Each structure stands twice: as C-alpha cells, then as structure tokens.
Copies of this chain bind each other. A is one copy, B any other.
C-alpha cells in the first residue's frame, strides 16, 4: 500500500510545517509536483486538510482530524477526567504537568499539558513521542505491564541519551520493581539533559496502565530532599484521575 503510506506521510508533513505550499512539500519529499498536488486535493476533499484562509496556496490541517481520537481518550474520557487534577497539581507545585499515553511504537505520547509560570520551564509539545525506557512516564507505564510485554518492548537495544539512561535490561527491570514498590517513577537526566520528572500511572480496573501523569521541571529547581513529597503528590493526582475516570 505504497500510495496510502506516502499520503499519510504528506499529511504528517503538512501538520508539522503548516501552513505549507505544494512546492515546499515537493522539496521535502522529492516527489513530482503533480503527485503531491493530487494528494493534497484528495486529502482536502476528505476533510483532513484545508487551504489557509489568507494564502489559499498554503495548506493546513483541518479541525476534523480531532474526530479521530485514540481509544484511551474516547467517550467520557481519561482526558477530561485528568484535567482538574492536573490543574490542581500545577497550582500546588507551579511546575509543568504532562499527561501521556503509551503508544504501540515503543513510546509514550504527550496527550495533554498544564504549564507552570516560571520563565525557565520544560517543554514537550502535545503529540510528542518519548521512549519508554528513558522517561519517568515510560517507567510508570512499563512497571505495570506483564513481564512478557516489557520484555517485548525492551527487546531491541535500549538507546542511550546520556550518562543516566538505563541501557541494561536487567537494570531496567530492577528500576521498574522499585517504581512498582514506591508507586512513582523518577527521571533525572535520563532522556533530556537538565530535565527531571516524577510520574505515576493511571491504571484500568484490571491494572493495565492507561496513561501516566508527570510533573517535570528543570534540574535547577529539583530538590532531592522533596522527592518523597513530590512523589506522594503525583501519586495522589494519578489516583484522583483514576477515580474520576472509572467512577
């Protein structure tokens, strides 16, 4: 299904670069103009794209894509349930709060975010994907998956992103055990240098991890002495979200 794959790539590129012209896209992909053009027109007819209001030769993603939502966010969703608890946690700590959902492609996707008002703050855009093995949110999810799945997800080489990344499977398993015992995961420079995050999972009735909430802050504001307190707050927030979601 070559053309479908290509069309989806084009759609993603439009999302990234919007508003974007046919010419720019041909440069990105090295495809003939007519091919790109035809794809854009079709995507437009299907309602996924639309021409920019001011410059009608520029294309952007239409709001209709919002109708296509991930399963975890469907209905009386997790997403809605998470908002108030996230706001509350942000107000308590004045640090950025993220909600992430595990994705098939060995990563967690940022689904929602509540910002703090510090000038120096961490930034992850909604839709960003981070590796499972090198983030607090990833660990929080992994810790509650059956061993078989963890093994599968961490089968390949664990990519290192710096000194602190856990690249040894055995070490990762030990860390996950610690996360399970403690109730929350901690990431100190494992993925992005200078970023510290504390995350707790939101679990389904039967214990499958649906999502995780995390507070993340620059290294400079992280006080290891307050870890237990932060951990408790994040865990409580996750519990609150779970209660609202299931209740």
Q: Which residues of A contact B (CB under 8 A)?
A: 1, 3-5, 7-9, 11-12, 15, 18-19, 38-39, 41-48, 50-54, 60-75, 77, 79-80, 83, 87, 101-105, 109-111, 113-115, 125-129, 208
Number of copies: 2
Q: Which residues of B sit under 8 angstroms from A105, Cβ to Cβ?
A: 47, 62, 64
Name which residue of chain B comes closest to A65, CB basis. B68
Name which residue of chain B comes closest to A123, CB basis. B76
Name which residue of chain B comes closest to A210, CB basis. B53
Name which residue of chain B comes closest to A69, CB basis. B127
The one of B7, B69, B109 that contacts A67, using a Cβ cutoff of 8 Å: B109
Whole-angstrom CA separation of A9 from B38 in the bound complex: 18
Q: Which residues of B sit under 8 angstroms from A103, Cβ to Cβ?
A: 47, 50, 62-64
- A68 near B1 (CB under 8 angstroms)? no
